[in-house]
């Protein structure tokens, strides 16, 4: 693959992973832009592969979203053992937040993991409330 084509391909792949992080965090482009201190247009251009993710934005992703540059740039992510090690070494407040995020993930209306869909919405709302109070 030629240098220019490879650069375009890498930019598009990084944009796809950037968008994947945003959707995993359940954020709109507007919300994600605010978190990262970007314009909505900048987020759209990164997600569409028009622009590269800057080093500054990689730092912000790491700081605010706990996402590694390796994942955004190369698609490499931590193994379950690495994640377990990180969890074990978090303070109790961060462990609690991660646990709530996992419960929220499984309570998502599309998964219907816990109970009836209407009850999932109640669980989802309560977890959101707790997470907001503990920021």
Q: What is the pLDDT of residues 95-132, one digit of tens each?
A: 888 888 887 777 765 666 655 556 666 777 777 788 77
How is the chain split into domains, by residue range?
3-74, 80-133
Q: Alpha-carbon distance 6 to 129, whole Å? A: 44
Residue at token pair 């990164």: 46
Q: What is the pLDDT of residues 8-26, one digit of tens each?
A: 888 999 999 999 988 888 8
Under CATH, what is the fold of the domain 3-74?
434 Repressor (Amino-terminal Domain) (1.10.260)
pTM above 0.75, yes or no: no
């Amino acid at each position: 693959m030629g240098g220019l084509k490879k650069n375009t391909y890498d930019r598009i792949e990084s944009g796809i992973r950037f968008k994947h992080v945003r959707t995993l965090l359940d954020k709109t482009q507007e919300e994600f832009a605010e978190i990262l201190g970007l314009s909505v247009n900048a987020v759209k251009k990164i997600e569409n592969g028009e622009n590269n993710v800057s080093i500054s934005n990689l730092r912000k992703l790491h700081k605010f979203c706990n996402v590694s540059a390796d994942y955004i740039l190369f698609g490499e992510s931590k193994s379950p053992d690495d994640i377990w090690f990180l969890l074990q070494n978090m303070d109790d407040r961060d462990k609690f937040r991660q646990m709530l995020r996992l419960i929220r993930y499984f309570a998502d209306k599309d998964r219907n993991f816990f109970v009836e869909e209407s009850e999932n919405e109640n669980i989802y709302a309560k977890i959101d409330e707790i997470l907001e109070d503990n920021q």
